[in-house]
Structure 1
């Protein structure tokens, strides 16, 4: 919807306003040339998009040529954006190399009424804090209960366990910050979240499906199947065989397949031993 909005309304030359302002201050002549070219292309781009809507409604025979002209202008706008982005990146002002994550923020800040802007940003912050809190709590609980305390040499009292849980939470917080800093280099954060999630969501879903529908398969077989499935998912992603969204399906199906194969192998071995 935002793409459609900026096809009919003027879009900025660069959505990260702070980075572009730095370019204007450090290289005013280059920025002025960019803005002059952008004004011409933006006016042309928006007018052509409106003409396409009118011609489509009237079923005009010149619709195809108008679409081709629009695509040509769109390509020029994209090339200009690339040159602006390259100029900003050369200054090393910002660690983020693209302005993809600022498109929605720019839309909210410059389009919605004042009250809605504050309300929407408050909702975003509150939702983020809730998700982060739940994630850190879950990660710390799993690493403490399923790894630390199980493999620990001696039992600990409640006070010591609380101290360990805080240390685990701190460790996972540092890890999450490192992952977030890495994700900023992956372009769109929405895509980055889906890419990273697709690497793990499929096997996790497969484990639950096996637990629900394949009661005879024990935990050891499922654990081995999950490890093999994760290796398969990473291999598919590295070789870029299919779109990353399919990794969820592949991971879930692989866990089921490996679990069933493991069960059949275990049963055949039991029969052979008898």
Structure 2
């Protein structure tokens, strides 16, 4: 990167951290530290909720996912608006009325302590692991730019976020997130404009989308009911609805954001706006990936986007074989360019029959290129069995650093850092609040002072920060980060949601029944997930339904059991 880019990047990060620390001064009690005195307006709530969900993974992996497989991932979010409506009607007023710090406090009031502890424990496992992945995402950037090991960059990013989260608590998180999301929206808009600007002069936005469409990258909606297809209309509407409802309704990293709202109406309005804005935002991010795909039909893409792994292969004993593969790749790209230009001419003639025929030729050329790339990854594994052969996370980063103008490169990389900082800070804050309120305060030190609980919250933030950094150091082998986070969540969110739905709507079921139902359902979900029985989004539905049905069944058995005489 240039000096201008480094200046923009460093200045943006420093301003964000200083702003958050300044605005959160005065967090001297646990109410302020964990809930920000419940004083934030709806637009703070909305941007904070969005920033918590939109981590660096979103801006690194989503364009790469669209580049390699198209727009289908947008269906993941189709259940979000409906989930926001249900949350506003049911969850938000209950949480505000009970004046809870965490979502799991309610479960003890409704059931018992062991049910509260179980759901809190499940949350801590899921959020602790997934936060490690969100820390790893921006460390990829620094390691690529500086050509150093991701261990050092992971430690730097993690330490930076821990600092201002420990200092300011939820207010620091929310205020920095508001500024982060404002910068992110501007940067994404500029990135989209620049991709189109860098295309050949005779290729406008419409033709760029058409060419990507002919090569299978713009199919956003799949109407087929296929339980093994990860992204269809039905998995998004049904599986996505259950996942989003559980994530926003029971995951403390999100509940903590809207519990800081000044009132029920402010929290509701923030959530509803999130439901309206999130899908267009995600669509735009994926669309940028599609446009980058079109760009690389006219400009030769790297044979593998992870330059660190590529450099290792070039310096290995397999370099001769690799050079031969590169020759084939260069020839395949030149042949594909001829077919792309032919498609350009046919699109101008507006004759559909030859366009359809040429589409098949283009798709075949695309598959040939993918086959050659597969030869490269096979060679990487031969050279190093631990090589990271998934380069989806590097596609957008490679494009940004090589083709965008000075200044904008620094801004877009700052955006990815900001997204990571926002989501990681929210997660650390939620992990700390759940640890202190649901575990420490309830099971270990029940009669501590407010100052002791505040100190425990800060120590818990540091502890979870270290745990998440440790997880981040092992995150390089899990493939596309965006999918990995959602798959991990789908193993647990359905079970937790089932517990909450029983609490809200099945009044005759007690804590003992729901506790055993949750354990049984979680075991089934883990087995189904490991066996890949269905697409991962359906695990949210199955887990939730299992908890509800098993809880009702177990309660009936308990009711029929004879009562022992005292």
Distance 1:111 1:248 in 2: 40
Do the aligned partners of 2:309 and 2:388 also contact (CA within 8 Å) in 1?
Answer: no
Deviation for aligned residue 1:68: 4.8
Alignment of 1:233-248 (within 5 A): 233-248=525-540
Aligned to 1:255: 547
Aligned to 1:16: 306
Structure 1 residues 55 and 262, CA, compared in 2 at 3 Å: closer, same or farther? farther
Residue 352 of structure 2 is aligned to residue 59 of structure 1: yes
Deviation for aligned residue 1:166: 3.9
Aligned to 1:76: 368
Distance 1:243 1:53 in 2: 37
Structure 1 residues 268 and 52, CA, compared in 2 at 3 Å: closer, same or farther? farther
Residue 444 of structure 2 is aligned to residue 152 of structure 1: yes
Structure 1 residues 59 and 146, CA, compared in 2 at 3 Å: closer, same or farther? same
Distance 2:552 2:341 in 1: 57
Structure 1 residues 267 and 113, CA, compared in 2 at 3 Å: closer, same or farther? farther
Over residues 206-248 of structure 1, what are the superposed CA-to-partner deviations in whole Å (9 max), with x where a residue is unaligned?
2232233223333443333222221121121122211111111
Do the aligned partners of 1:202 and 1:249 also contact (CA within 8 Å) in 2?
Answer: yes
Superposed CA RMSD in Å reads 3.3
Do the aligned partners of 2:509 and 2:551 also contact (CA within 8 Å) in 1?
Answer: yes
Distance 2:507 2:495 in 1: 17
Distance 2:399 2:497 in 1: 35
Q: Which moved more, 1:226-235 or 1:145-154?
A: 145-154
Distance 1:20 1:153 in 2: 53
Do the aligned partners of 1:205 and 1:252 also contact (CA within 8 Å) in 2?
Answer: yes
Aligned with residue 426 of structure 2, among 134, 146, 165: 134
Aligned with residue 122 of structure 1, among 408, 414, 433: 414
Over residues 21-45 of structure 1, what are the superposed CA-to-partner deviations in whole Å (9 max), with x where a residue is unaligned?
4444556644543332211111223
Distance 1:255 1:264 in 2: 14
Distance 1:46 1:210 in 2: 58
Distance 1:219 1:175 in 2: 31
Aligned to 2:500: 208
Q: Which moved more, 1:99-108 or 1:21-30?
A: 21-30
Do the aligned partners of 2:309 and 2:387 also contact (CA within 8 Å) in 1?
Answer: no
Deviation for aligned residue 1:96: 2.8
Do the aligned partners of 1:203 and 1:251 also contact (CA within 8 Å) in 2?
Answer: yes
Structure 1 residues 215 and 123, CA, compared in 2 at 3 Å: closer, same or farther? farther
Deviation for aligned residue 1:268: 4.1
Give unpaired runs (5+ residues) of structure 1.
none
The total of aligned residue pairs comes to 272
Distance 2:343 2:535 in 1: 32
Structure 1 residues 253 and 114, CA, compared in 2 at 3 Å: closer, same or farther? farther
Aligned with residue 334 of structure 2, among 43, 50, 65: 43
Alignment of 1:193-204 (within 5 A): 193-204=485-496
Partner secondary structure for residue 107 of structure 1: helix
Structure 1 residues 160 and 92, CA, compared in 2 at 3 Å: closer, same or farther? farther
Residue 478 of structure 2 is aligned to residue 186 of structure 1: yes
Which structure has more RCO (C-alpha within 8 Å, separation ≥ 6)? Answer: 2
Instruction: Give the TM-score of the pair, scaled to structure 1.
Output: 0.81
Q: Which moved more, 1:234-243 or 1:254-263?
A: 254-263
Do the aligned partners of 1:52 and 1:63 also contact (CA within 8 Å) in 2?
Answer: no
Do the aligned partners of 1:101 and 1:188 also contact (CA within 8 Å) in 2?
Answer: yes
Deviation for aligned residue 1:52: 5.1
Partner secondary structure for residue 492 of structure 2: helix
Partner secondary structure for residue 197 of structure 1: helix
Instruction: Give the TM-score of the pair, scaled to structure 2.
Output: 0.42
Distance 1:197 1:130 in 2: 19
Do the aligned partners of 2:322 and 2:379 also contact (CA within 8 Å) in 1?
Answer: no
Deviation for aligned residue 1:71: 4.3
